[in-house]
Chain A
Amino acid sequence: MAYLGTQPNNVKDNIGLYNPSEILQLTKDGNWSGSLEFITEVSASSSTIDIVDKFGTYKTHFLQLINCVPTTQTEFTIKFSNDSGSSFETTNYAFTNYRVYANNSSGERKSNSQNSIRLGGDVLSNSEFNCNFYIYNANVSSMYTLITSECTFNQGTIYAQEFGGGSYAVAEVVNGIRIGESTGATAFTSGTARLFGVKEL
Chain B
Amino acid sequence: MSSSLRLVNETTVSSTVASVNVENVFSSDFDIYMITYGNATSDTNSIDVNLRYINSSGSVISSSDYDQAWLRMRQSGFNENRIVGQSHIFFGQLAGSLGGTALGYVFSPFKTTCYTWHQFEGAGFSGTEDRAFKGVSVLKQYYSLTGFQLYAGANNITTATIRTFGMRVDD
| A interface residue numbers (CB < 8 A to B) | 7-9, 11-14, 30-37, 59-60, 94-98, 108, 110, 112, 134, 136-137, 140, 142-144, 146-148, 150, 163-167, 169, 171, 198-201
A163 & B121 in contact (Cβ 8 Å cutoff): yes
Q: How far is the CA of A85 from the CA of B125 in the complex (A)?
A: 26
Most A CB contacts (10 A, CB to CB) among B100, B122, B130 go to B130
Return A117 CB to nearest CB of chain B, in Å: 10
A146 & B36 in contact (Cβ 8 Å cutoff): no
Taking a contact as CB atoms closer than 8 A, the residue among A12, A30, A171, A199 that contacts B170 in the complex is A12
- Number of interchain pairs (Cβ within 8 Å): 138
Return B152 CB to nearest CB of chain A, in Å: 17
A residues in contact with B170, CB < 8 Å: 12-14
- Of B18-26, B43-51, B72-80, B137-145, the segment with at least 4 beta carbons within 8 Å of chain A is B72-80
Return A33 CB to nearest CB of chain B, in Å: 6
Q: Closest A residue to B12 by CB, please name it.
A: A201
Taking a contact as CB atoms closer than 8 A, the residue among B4, B125, B132 that contacts A144 in the complex is B125
B123 & A35 in contact (Cβ 8 Å cutoff): no
Chain B, residues 145-171, CB within 8 Å of chain A (1/0): the string is 000000000000000010101001111
Return A136 CB to nearest CB of chain B, in Å: 4
B residues in contact with A14, CB < 8 Å: 1, 168, 170
Return A34 CB to nearest CB of chain B, in Å: 2
Return A125 CB to nearest CB of chain B, in Å: 28
